[in-house]
Structure 1
Amino acid sequence: MTDAIVLAAGESKVPEGIFLFIPPLYDIFGSLAALIIIALVFWKKVLPTFNRVLDERAEKIQGGMARAEAAQAEAQVALAEYHQQLAEARAEAARIREEARAEGSTIVAELRQKASDDAARILENAQRQIAAERQQAAVSLRAEVGALATELASRIVGEALADEARQSRVIDRFLDDIEASATIGSREN
């Protein structure tokens, strides 16, 4: 086989010099014809399909960008709504806190007033009870002192004070004298 290659090479003319870089004319025309056919097929079949795919992709990208811009605008609106609702919620919470404070102050004031009223009522009842007990003690003391004074006067005078009117006058005079002496003693102090 190597002999056949050497024989074939020997029969053809070997280019020399610059012709080494220039192909033969039949190769140039053959290659040019193949290039033109490939270029026409590419121009008529491949390039329109390629352009259509690129146009579709560009449209998808443009649509995606438009959708993204619309979504971003919606997000901005939603964010603004959220901030507005948050501000309203904070204002509402502050208002509720203030109402609760005011209501608490009112309740405290009402409870203080009620406690004060209850204390005054309890004090008044206690004073009435003390006055009633003092009155009852005075009546009881007057009766006991009257009985003792009558017995003492009967012993001193030596006469019986059996008459009730006389007994009552003596007791009243005795008690009036005691009260008068107590009044004079308190003025001197």
Structure 2
Amino acid sequence: MSINATLFVQAIVFLLLVLFTMKFVWPPIAKALDERAQKIAAGLAAAEKAKAELASANQRVEQELVQSRTETAGRLADAERRAQQIIEEAKGRATEEANKIVAAAHAEAEQQSVRAREALREQVAALAVKGAEQILRKEVNAGVHADLLQRLKTEL
């Protein structure tokens, strides 16, 4: 066989192989490659979306942390102010109670002083009556001389 005929037959076989490949082999391979490319693109898009969502979630978490720290600091400050207020109120009540106790003690002391003076007046009046009785050597009737004894008490 001549080289031209061999070359011609080989060209026809090659053409048939190319047609067969283009008709039956190439479309499923191209379809599989396209599907794979779409899956990869979808995966990359999902990864980008997830990355954006993660960044957004991180921002929200940071904002929540800042807000919670601010609220916590505010609550602590409120608690400290309330504690100071309670302490001041307790001090005020204790001071008022102490003043009341001191006033009551002063009043009690004044009452005891008045009672002691009254008792002393009565004793002095009794002693004066006894002294007058001894001077006069006779008994002085306290009922009769009650007015005189009352004036004597007030003078003392």
TM-score (norm 1): 0.67
Matched, 1:139 2:122: no
Distance in 1 (CA, whole Å) between partners of 2:140 and 2:154 is: 14
**How far did residue 87 of structure 1 move?**
0.5
Question: Counterparts of 1:3-22 in structure 2 under 5 Å?
Answer: none
TM-score (norm 2): 0.79
Name the % identity. Answer: 28
Report what 1:19 is aligned to: none
Letter in 2 for 1:70: K
Report what 1:80 is aligned to: 59
Matched, 1:151 2:136: no
Distance in 2 (CA, whole Å) between partners of 1:130 and 1:38 is: 132
Cα root mean square deviation, aligned: 2.7
Q: Which 4+ residue blocks in structure 1 deviate beyond 2 angstroms?
A: 31-40, 156-163, 165-173
5+ residue gaps, structure 2: none
Question: Counterparts of 1:7-156 in structure 2 under 5 Å?
Answer: 32=10, 36-156=15-135
Cα-to-partner distance string for 1:41-66 (whole Å, 9 max, x where unaligned)? 22321122211210111111111111
Rg larger in structure = 1
If asked which structure has higher relative contact order (CA below 8 Å, sep 6+), I would say 2
Corresponding residue pairs, total: 149
Letter in 1 for 2:120: L
